[in-house]
Every structure is written in structure tokens, then in C-alpha cells.
Structure 1
């Protein structure tokens, strides 16, 4: 009997050891297989070519061995000369440059700005500023901005050009003040334009890094698409906040874009909470933009110039009506057949805030956009042009480059 018990204990102990060894071997096998699979996958991953995100940029080898890289495609002068009918189709000019209207081979229209300069006058400093201009404008992609789609920097003959998308319906100022020559804008269309302009400024003030203001914001800076969506232009007059200072140079370069060493915000703006104050803080120039936006809204709803005789300034004339709910109707453009009284009253309240004598009490552009959206019921999609030629223009340029 004792012998039988000893044999049973021995068998049980053997089975336990066999189970332990079996489980251990299985675990080792699983781990070995996993390591082998991982090693194979890592080898294959390294062996396969990596696909980097597509970027519509090009590297340009400039004189002196410098390489200029940007996300905006480069165009040869010959290509632009063909598109702009041998540079005969001039649609604008200034002491700094000439703007030509052009048409790419696909039928996409462009506006090409040629900078007035010669090779002898073009210093390395100006070349750096031009590159910063291109780099800055390249990052400003928004549905309510006139976007940069290409640039040209040829040496023979000397050429520096910026190529923008073309807004076919001209400027808002032309439609407001040259009614006989331009199509009349009804009330809903004007509200959509105001909303689009607000979205553009909000993007510049709050979404760009670093932020930017517009130094000449008015109806002349707003261009209209085929379906009368607003696009903010005149970036030659935009200003970046470079450590609170601004390098003085030729007027064209007042819009040079560059990374700031830092920007400061105005903490005195009153908001509902500290967190909101932090998100709504703004930099020098923003207060001026808010005032200009208030004047702009008055210009749109009244159809009047910002200064006209014999009344004088638009703001001075409007003050008599802005603060009296029974009088605000007299602000409306008399050529309009109808308008929305509730929207008009709300717009007047926003204008009053924007025109505050104390700049720090003016709302942020984000706050204004939110108020306008609540009143006008226009989402970013509703205010945006249904058809944008920007993508097709860029695809054609890349295909030909």
C-alpha cells in the first residue's frame, strides 16, 4: 500500500513538472514568434519608401547659393506673359507695382502684381523682404481672403511678381458707390458680405500665428466673387507685429510678413471670464481694425462714402441715428427696396461697440463675428463662395511646372 501511494505522488509531481515545462515552452515560443514578426515588419517598413505629405512648394536656387523654399509654386515670367496677354491687360497700378489680369490655359482667371523695380535697384535686403512677403502670404489661406497662388522671381529680364486668385465682380466699393455701372446689391447680399468680411478679419486676428491686422480695411479692400462672396485683399498694406516695432522701408514693404519675437495683448478688455479674456486678447492694430469694421458696416448699410459733402464724415452723419431705435431706419441706403429691421437694429448695436472712443472697450473680432452670426444666421459655409478657382489654378500651375 505505501508503495502505491509513493508511485501516485511521483506521477503527480512528474505531471506538474511536465505542465510547467510545457507552458513555459509555449510562452517562449509565442514570444519568439512575436519578436520574429515584429522584426520582419520593421524590416519591411524600413525597406518600403515613405510617402510624405504632398506640398505644392518648390525650392529655388537664388544667386549666391541661397535656396528659397516656400509652399507656393513658382511660375516663369514667360508663362505669366502669355497668361496676361503680353502684359497688356492692366487692371490696376500704384507707385509700387502694376496689376495685370490673366487667364491660365484652363480658363482660370488670375491677378498678377508686378513690382516696379530694376536689377540695379534690387538689393539683397529687398530680396529677403520679397521672400518674407511670399512666405507670409503663402500661409494666409482662407476662403474669405484673396489667396496667393504663385510667384515669379526671374533674373533675365528682372521680374518679381505675386500671383493671386481673381475675384471677377470687382470691389464692394464699386457696387456701393457706382451703382449705375455695377449691379445693385440687395439687403441679404450686403449682410452676406459683412459676414464674410468679419470671418476674414477674425482669421487674421485670431487664427494666424503670428496674428495680423489690416492697415486699410474698407469697402475698397473687399473683392466679390461670381456669387458675391466677400474676399479681403490689399495685403500690401497688412502689418505683422514684430516685437512691437516696425521696420520702415518703401511703402510696398509695409506688408512684409515675418515671425515676431513676441506680441503683447491688452488685458484691459472686459469679458465675461478670465479664460474668455485670454482668448479674446488682441495686439496693437486690432483696435483700429475694429473701428474700421464699424465704419465699414455703416458704409455697407447706408451706401454712402466714408466722407461726403456737405455732411462730412460718415460716422459724424450716422451718430444722429445710431442711438435712437426710431431713427435707425434713416441709415439704410435709400436705393434698397427692403431691409430687415431686426438685423438693422442689431447691426447698429455692434457698430456702436466697434466705434467706442476707448479702444480697449471695443470687442474682439471673434466676439463681433459671433454676434453677427447669431443675428444674421450665416454660417461660414453660407457666407463662402460656392465655387473657388484657387484649387484648379494651383493644380494647373503644378502640372505645368
Structure 2
């Protein structure tokens, strides 16, 4: 171990050779004996050997420091100063990419200002939208992820970077869908206020959001077990922020409880994924109601088909399940009759052959 002499004694800094988290724990020794250690399970700790001429143990057990709280406060201050000095020297000798790799440690020790003039941004400060935005990433899939590596100023400027301060359930998904469509980076809000990146960030919540439908056909009310919501069916919709407009045809958008509280459903989206924007399907005990989510999703798909199918045969084709698990049905044809509630009333093999008629009429009426 290589120790640094300081005003309080000798300090060994752990985790300065390569990034390995925040590195905030430390063990304190006096006259070679342990006298202070935090109650944590990490084995990654800085080591401090106190100067025995300046610090003293409490008698008779000598297992605690005299004025421990004040001493620990002083230790933390000197430790932070020592870490800062080490990082300043490191910054002059390693690559920018290697230096920003210590982001977590710099953040914990309030040293993010050292990144202000570094030409790359640590991935921890950035996010990419990689999937359809949803209101609850603990229940549904996460739609954001860190970039794989640090990014240069040129790379960030080429893509653009924005900040979004919306709760999707409350404020809607419009700004997130806009950013996803444009492939913008998201600023994660963690750098020092003097960092150069702030001058590049476009704050979308400072701009008026306008969503316009294109060739809207009609509106209908979806009534599920959990979700009740108005749905506007259209060819596409446009999201306008400032002078920029994106047109979306393939993903539905929930506008949020504090806005129109409805769903805009373009022709290219026949799924129920938009329900994941308007509800988390959590009970009053914070438990995910999976069966209710699945039943509402199935009902919503049927609802979309009913409102967008070009003819009854098209609707039937889109609503039929996959029969790949039943080889006996492969290559067969059937005549299906539905009752007034849309439930199967009878199913007959086609063409009908003598002695081979298969009907479900008796089963349906029982």
C-alpha cells in the first residue's frame, strides 16, 4: 500500500487505480489498532492511520476516539481534500475517457466540477430512449438506458440533447415520443452547474406541446376492467414543440390526466401498449394486477380492431388467435357463426361432408 502523509496522519486511498464505485467508506486506526469503522459490508475502504500525537483513544478500553464525532468530521474533510488532490494530478496524466470513468467517486466527494472542462461526458449523465415510453418502469420494461461509453461534444451535438420533466401518467407521453422519434439524448441532470453540456441542453418543458391528429376518423370510449378512456382514431398525429414537428403513425400516445386524458390511436398501432402509459395496474397495496392488465390489454386490442377493421372478414382475421399448437386444425376450413354479443354460436367444418359435420351449437347453448 502507498500512503499519503497528511495533517491527520497517513492515508491510503482505495479505488484510485481504476473506477470502482463511489469509494466512500474508510477504516481508522490509532497506534496500529482499529478504532473506527462504519457499519457496512463493503470491503473497499480507504485506510487512515491517525497521528497518535494529535489524537487519543478513550480509556480504559481504547476502542473509541476522544471527541469521536469531531474527529470523524475532520477526517472526512481531510480525506476529501486528499482525494481531490489525487484527482487533479490524475486529470493531467490520463485520457479524458479514463478520467470520466471515476464519475461515481467524483459525484460522491462533490468533485464534479473537475469534469467541467473535460471534452467527453460520462455515460452516467446521459440516457437514450430505446423503447416505447411507459409510466412505470418497475412494472413494465425500462425505456431508457445509459450510452455504452462516454460521448464527445461533437457526438452529442450531432444527435441533440434534451431534458424532460414529465410524469407520463399525469403529463402524457408526447415529449418522450417526440424525443424518441428524433433520437435525442436525454440529460440525466447530474453534472456541475458550470459544465459546458448545459449550454447544449434543450429543455422541452419550457416549450408549448401541441399534438394534432391527421385525418381523424372518429372517437370511441374504451371501457376495460381497469382503464376507461376516450380514444381518437386517425391516420397519424403530429407533435409540435417550438418550430419542430414530428409525425407519428406507428405508436399511440396517451395525453395525460392533466391534459386531454385521452388516447390518440394512429392506424399503424394495433396493440394495447398505450395502456402502459396511462396506468401502472398497481393495487392499493402497490401490487401489480397482472391478470387485470392482461384482460384489459386483450379487450383493448379487440376494441381497436372493432374500430379500424375494413370489413367483418378483416376483423375476424385480426382477432383470431394462433392455432399453431393444434396440428389437427392445420389446413382445415370452418364456418363460424357469432351471436349478438360477438361470442361463437357455432363452428362447422367446411366444406360440410356427410357424417363429418362438427358443430358447437349444443355446447354453446349449454
Q: Which has the higher helix share?
A: 1
Common fold, TM-score beyond 0.5? no
TM-score normalised by the chain length of structure 1: 0.20
- Per chain length, whose mean CA-contact separation is higher, i.e. which structure has more relative contact order (CA < 8 Å, sep 6+)? 1
Q: Which has the higher strand share?
A: 2
